[in-house]
Chain A
Amino acid sequence: MSVPISWYLMLAAALFAIGTVGALTRRNGIGIFLSIELMLNAANLTLVAFARQMDQRTGQLIVFFVMAIAAAEAAVGLALFIAVFRQRHTIDVNRMNLMRW
């Protein structure tokens, strides 16, 4: 008995929604980053599920690229947080309003 693809898609949608809520409500910069990683993973799950449905490998390859880009994004973003923390001694995004207006 095989699991229908739509179940995977619904799980991915739920994970993406949870990640979105986290990215919008968390105030800690690293918490926002974690939520973004969650959203990326939900998108990856969708891609793999569709690759399975279509019986193609392209989706899996896109997931490969997404993972590499997520790694680059995490490295640069965390380096930026270190730089901000060095100057302001906080990574609370509510107190980082230098470029707000």
Chain B
Amino acid sequence: MIYLLPHTITQSARRFPDREAFRSGKASLTYREMELRMNQLASVLHTLNIKKGDRVGIYLNRSIETAIAIFGIMQAGGVYVPIDPKAPVARSQFLIEDCDVQILITQPTQRRNVKKILADKKNIHTVVGLPEMEEINTISWASVFLASPIFSLPFRILEKDLAYIIYTSGSTGQPKGIMHSHYSGLSFARLTADLYGMTEKDRVGNHAPIHFDISTLGYFASPLVGACTVIASDAQTIFPASLGQLIEQEALTIWYSVPLALTQILQNGVLADKELPDLRWVLYAGEPFPPKYLRRLMQQWSGARFSNLYGPTETNVCTYYHLPAIPVTDDPIPIGAVWGNTDYLILNEEDKEVETGTAGELLIYSATQMMGYWRNPALTEKSHYKVKTASRQEAAFYRTGDLVREVDGVIHFLGRKDFQVKIRGHRVELGAIEACLVTHPAVREAVVFPVKEADENLSIAAGVILISASTASVNILLQYLKEKLPLYAVPEEIKIVTDFPRTSSGKIKRGVLATTL
């Protein structure tokens, strides 16, 4: 029976030993090879005396080694912690310290960064993936691949045990570690495999780096059904034309990424000459997809179906919406309905259930829910709402902090709860202003953010990226907004910029907009 994430590899190695499991660039592993590599790394970690639940850092660019690291760590009873090599060294050091990473898995191209990290992080005793380094124990990938794949763990791992920790930037202050179990990861794999009819014939495009949970489709759901995951290299993700090429040449059947990546492929991916007869499903999550781009992409990729997935990292995914047709209006796309093994509540500010059709905060109780925040019981407590179930057990619903409205069984996302500001007494939804700006034909992307004035009052400002050929002015945009929004919701200032500050996964860093734009 499959009850741990690495079991998916073992099972697929038995059912489809010679099918491709993972591919990245020219590197490729069949399920048989993947099982061997996973066990070799697990056995190396075992000789390093890894104990149940020990956190192991993965400091890798998107590559085939990423897959080996994820499964090798879990197979050894450890917990994988993705550390973004593009993040500032101080952030990596914070993560390593916060969850006491003692073993780091990396690759030779990261040598320079690893050296900086180690300069004052003495809790790391071994670095796997570098041939040699002064003053620290290292084990090269070459020697991992010579290790015996046979080992025996002195402890038992159960489905509710911790499997991975993903750190997200807290809206204030330090990053927080979101803990997920094997059960959560497998539930996600089973639910997506079912929802999108995945089989061993699928080829899944993996665009997201592993510190972003969008990556779990390729890493968890594919092995469950014996499908192949094609990991886009970091270089490919930089060039939309190369991504377009990847989808075509690898005959991908399922694609899952943030809308931004898809918008870039649409605009610069040179799609006109590409036939993509194999592409069945295009999934997106992370941010709303501006309908004007989604519409064009759906026209371009008319053979594929499109699905909007929604869920904070704390729940991985919890709702889905299959687009029934190409959207004709610029109204935001709904987030749909909760998926399997998931319950939900929509509550008002007094924690009372709202009437259908009224806006409220979405709360989720599901199989893919996190175990809690790493070493932060206070925050875990604060983020949950406890309900007594019929069996007198307690169900802790996760507070998403997102405002939604349910109409005819379809949930609509309205914006972040903390994304609502009061301007001169009026409640203003910043997301609604962004959505309005993006409907202007000259606007590629927009952000709207509150600015604290000298007198402590709030005003609204906007940042706008124009489409490349456009010469639209700030005044034209302001005039456009004035025609569509109440005056108090029109930004005091609009700045035209070439890009916004972003995280490595492409999400806009909202916390720093007021100071950087």
Do they bind each other? no
